[in-house]
Amino acid sequence: MKNLLLAICVACGALNASAQKPYISQVWNPDNGDGTYTNPVINADYSDPDVCVGASGEDYYLTASSFQCTPGLPILHSKDLVNWRIVGYALKSLYTGDKKLERHFASVRHGDGVWAPSIRYHNGEYYIYWGDPDNGVYMVKTKDPAGEWSDPVCVIEGKGMIDTTPLWDDDGRCYLVNGWANSRSRFASVLTVREMNAEGTKAISDPVIVFDGNGTENRTCEGPKFYKRDGWYWIMCPAGGVPTGFQLVMRSKSPYGPYESKIVLAQGKTGINGPHQGAWVHTKYGEDWFLHFQDKEAYGRVVHLQPVTWKDNWPVMGAMPSKGYCGEPVLTYRKPKTATKVANENPVESDEFNSPKMGLQWQWHANYDQKFGMPTPWGVFRVYCYKAGSWDNLSVPSWAYDKDFGCIITSKQHKDSIRQAQSRIWKIPNLLLQKTPADNFTATTKLRMTAKEDNQYGGLIMMGLDYSALVVKRVGKEFQLQRITCKKADKDQPETADVIATLKPTAEDKVDYQPAIHEDIYLQLTVKYIGGKNADGTNKHEAKVNFAYSRDGKKFQQAGKPFTMRQGKWIGAKMGLVAVQPAGNENRGWIDVDWFRVSK
């Protein structure tokens, strides 16, 4: 029946995103159904969010940092700033049209790539700008945010420039504000403004420092957003550090300053730490709102919505204070005004894999290669085993200087040690992952492991700086159920593998041509929020992950000890699918994933 329904779907073509039935999450829904919402409005890692109002005035489009993950620059749509749907991505890969960078990002580059973007609507087109700290400032544009975007244009080449936002002025001139990455430039906490051409495709002036937070409470000022209101130029930016900082707003009569500033949003007595960096939205109904992130450590940076009230021509964000201009974040509040009632909807999580296209919740961990995996017409998504540890994966000749690893290969032993390092899941680019959707949830998948040779494995993973996976691995004519775990993966620490059970194959190929053995299994992970306090008394967002497995999908058995979930490099922990095998000439194995379901 599943395959019949899939065939009908394929015959009819892919459904238009606007016609699809709204997805309602079982694990987090911010719309209370009574005209109010509860923060976060997106309880997933859409870090450094930015939002623009669409051409109609009734549509809102959100994008966020995506770093090395592809497709990149997610595009979410909403009618009320509370109910959101993923409608596409602005980047198919990093960076289409630049062969050198496309090849560079074919390997996993944790934390590199697309940093804090901005999205703007101007003169009939939508623009996204972002800073890649190693390569420069880039821009893409489109007339349809849910459709195809242009290939990236390098607006300014160079290192260190991040967090870029354009501003088209009333006279048609265009300016760009940006922050600076200390890791690349060796200076930070300053904001600069320069002029671009009217098309926004290249800089036509040198940068001018317009704000300096060094040596003040405004240290780590970054993530600036540029606006104009009633003749004033506004730069809104975070300061004070990511986990515990605050939102700073500054204004001037000139884009080049000088700017005066005020803190307009801080944690105060609430439990919402570091409320900052996001988007000011002015609606057609005369309301003002601010979307920002909260850093929840392993969960990443989730998105909150705050009301904005103007006081003495300063935007106070969140709950109004009894005095001054610094608001505190609200937890529950009335929804923004809309013309009609907006249907309840959340970013999609579960996937039945009944479409000929990869679900929009999924991203690869590097630029996509067709050998990573593909949809099928059989109601499963196939992920092929990545050949780990292959010298070919390093994309350099043997016995040569390797610019990616920054070393000279001096011996066969040295070569083998690098190959071994490449074998860790940390270096695997074909991880098919999605964001965690709530503080507490369960993710269950049904899959078949097809192994043609020894040591091919596949299964379920929670990925981060520490990671753990529950996989089925071929050993001889049987499978082993293993827990593969690595702590401090970014520090090149080794993996450990614990055997949970030995499994007889579900099936074995009868034809003696590239024969394989198969294992049908249900794998599950459950995330539980632990919380706690850090040494400095601030809230700790800690979570435990328990793995389990089943042969029939009904009775699950625990698989190993609980694992402490940990964020990745600038991103939250991500869950999903892994399939790996050693390098060599052997035929690839694969996993066919029947479904992936997120539930309470």
Rounded CA-CA distance 507/459 in Å is: 18
Concatenating the DSSP letter of every residue in 42-88 gives B-S---S-EEEE-TTSS-EEEE---BT-BSEEEEEEESSSSSEEEEE
The two beta strands, 386-388 and 574-582, are parallel
Whether 567 contacts 298, CB under 8 Å: yes
- The catalytic residue among 31, 48, 466, 520 is 48
Nearest to 239 by CA among 262, 256, 257: 262
39: Cβ–Cβ under 8 A, 6 or more apart, which residues? 30, 272, 304, 305, 329, 330, 331, 332, 333
222 is catalytic: yes
- The β-bridge relationship of strands 125-132 and 136-142 is antiparallel
Percentage helix, strand, coil for the chain under 3-state DSSP, each rounded to 5: 10, 45, 50
Distance from the first to the final alpha carbon of the chain: 27
Active-site entry in 222, 519, 542, 592: 222
Nearest to 335 by CA among 344, 327, 347: 344
Which residue's entry shows tokens 């959100």?
62
User: Do 432 and 424 form a contact (C-beta atoms < 8 A)?
Assistant: no
DSSP one-letter code for 298: G
For residue 419, what are the contacts with CB-CB under 8 A and spacing of at least 6?
A: 389, 390, 391, 583
Residues 539 and 271: their CA atoms lie apart, in Å, by 8
Q: 3-class SS at 142?
A: strand
- On the 0-12 / 13-18 / 19+ scale of CB atoms within 10 A, 375 is middle
Catalytic residue set: 48, 222
